[in-house]
Amino acid sequence: MVAALLLMSLVSIAAAAENLEHQSKNAQKLIATLDSVGINDQDVKNFITETDSHVDHGYLYLSQEKVMGGNLALRYQLGSMPSSRHVELNFTPEDAPHIQLNARTDMVRVGYHLDFP
């Protein structure tokens, strides 16, 4: 029985890898796992697709707007235990995209980064 469940899980994950409607492998695996246990409601799939579209570079973007000549985003850092310290306000000026200002409950940081091709 365990071997059959493991095989079914691997087949579902492999089938999900061919599904290109989701950007991340995690969303593909989640859809495949839910399908394998019989949860295939379209509202759940739409929620996963919408949430997946707001994830970028390890952050879940909760809100994003253009203000004061730049982009202001409220975002949550993924990949660790849930905490209010992972919620941050990020501002990136349009005329200086290499500069970022981040404000969290425990810090304020001004960062400069370079993109190498």
Q: Mind spelling out the 3-state secondary structure of the chain? A: CHHHHHHHHHHHHHHHHCCCCCCCHHHHHHHHHHHHCCCCCHHHHHHHHHHHCCEECCEEEEEEEEECCEEEEEEEECCCCCCHHHEEEEEEECCCCCEEEEECCCCEEEEECCCCC
pLDDT tens sequence across 31-58: 888 888 888 888 888 888 888 888 888 8
pLDDT tens sequence across 19-32: 455 467 878 888 88
Instruction: Write down the pLDDT at residue 23.
Output: 61
**Every domain of the chain and the residues it spans:** 2-53, 57-112
